[in-house]
Amino acid sequence: MAILQTAIATILSNRQLRDVLLYTTLLLVFATAWVCDRWPDLAIPAVIATCVLLGGEVFLVYLARKSLKGSSD
């Protein structure tokens, strides 16, 4: 877990890497919308998988922000 926190802290401290994180997140959301439109039978699994991935990403960003805030105090 510490390796992931370090990786996310590195991403958050670099502007270009933050942009890559944002664009990959948007790509995931749009790909999910495309799958839902193209194959309606896969809509629920695609949305669930996207929510799990985005939830994990949000959790890691939260932990990294928390550790960055704690180390700067």
Which uninterrupted H or E stretch holds 54? helix 43-72
2: pLDDT strictly greater than 80 = no
Q: Within 13 Å and on the Cβ side, how many CA atoms surround 51?
A: 6
Asked whether 49 and 28 are in contact (CB, 8 A), the reply is: no
pLDDT tens track for 8-22: 888 888 899 889 989
Asked whether 47 and 32 are in contact (CB, 8 A), the reply is: yes
Q: pTM here?
A: 0.79
d(C-alpha 14, C-alpha 71), whole Å: 17
Contacts made by residues 29-32, CB under 8 angstroms, sequence distance 24+: 29/54
pLDDT tens track for 34-72: 999 999 999 999 999 999 999 998 988 888 888 777 776
